[in-house]
Chain A
Amino acid sequence: MNEENDHLEAALRSLKPRAPGARVVVALHRELDPPTQRHSHSWFFKTGLTWAGAMSVCLVIVLGFYFSRTHSEPQYHLIGVAQSQPSLDVFNPVQLEDGTYARPVRVHWNRSAQWEDPATQTRLIHYQPQEKLALIPLEIF
């Protein structure tokens, strides 16, 4: 039986399996090519894609910046500056260190500036309160 098996095994070994199709061989040769030989196409393609991508991103950033500057941000123009009438607070006289007398007074007023965005007619008003303290010397007769 073993001898028969050996004969059968030898006969099987003599059979010649069909080779893979030509497209497999071609595909494998393409895959197994050293990278330097396939460098040109893929490298230029990848580099081109990278640069195109980078340039696109830059373009988007520049355009975005431009449009945000020109269209999104309001353009305010100064249209006037005003100052309110001053008001005066007069306090009781006080004695100073040198023995003389003086009357404290406080003057306060407001300054305002207005800007307007002509596109939206939006106004920006800036109030600036002002205050001054002073001592008016008093003469005692």
Chain B
Amino acid sequence: MSDAHAHQDWRAWFAENGARLKLIARQWTRSDADADDVVQEAFVRFWKHQRHMPGNPNALVVTSIRRAALDLLRRSDRRTAREKAVAADTETVGWFEPESDPRLQSLAESLELLPAEQREVVVLKIWGELTFDEIGEQLAISPNTAASRWRYAMESLRKLITARTYE
């Protein structure tokens, strides 16, 4: 098989994209540490088996992340309820670097409060750099549904930011 990205420096690629990949992984994981594990596993899997494939590697990496995250969730489901509760209680790591601008900080915190189905569409569109068609494929929903969730998410974010501004 010919290597479509033979001259690609994958370390540099990961250094540039690792943060947004982790944010994507964070949508389908229960903790920051799990997101790290998923990103690592997914990227290694992609690098070993799919890096030679032509086209933009981004969608392949996102698919690999989702698959690794779902695998981890299935494995985690076997843990006891107590372990899950402890993991949830101890999760305090934010998804974004702290912002000096309070409006941006509020936006970052508001994003985490969105319903999961809206939030994952936003994250896949902004940081996954996917189209609604590609988001639909990832989440097994129609592109129209993806676009609809995006609109609801924008509306919810505006309301959340406004509410926080007047708190």
Using Cβ atoms and an 8 Å threshold, which residues of chain B touch A5? Answer: 154
B residues bordering A, Cβ < 8 Å?
A: 10-11, 14-15, 18-23, 32-33, 35-36, 39-40, 43-44, 47, 93-97, 99, 103-104, 107-108, 111, 122, 126-127, 154, 157-158
Residues of A within 8 A of B11 (CB): 28-29, 32
> Can you give 30 contacting A-B residue pairs, CB < 8 Å?
A8-B154, A8-B158, A9-B154, A11-B107, A12-B107, A12-B122, A14-B104, A15-B108, A16-B19, A16-B97, A17-B19, A17-B20, A17-B22, A17-B96, A18-B19, A18-B22, A18-B94, A19-B18, A20-B18, A20-B21, A20-B22, A21-B32, A21-B36, A24-B39, A27-B40, A28-B14, A28-B43, A29-B11, A31-B44, A32-B10
Give chain B residues whose Cβ lies under 8 Å from the Cβ of A139.
none
- The total of Cβ contacts below 8 Å across the A-B interface reads 79
Report the interface size for chain A: residues with CB under 8 A from the other chain: 23
> Chain A interface secondary structure, helix, strand, loop or mixed?
helix
Question: Which of chain B's residues has its CB closest to A10's CB?
Answer: B126
Which residues does chain B contribute within 8 Å of A24, judged by CB atoms?
A: 18, 36, 39-40
The reply to whether A11 and B103 contact each other, CB–CB distance below 8 Å, is yes
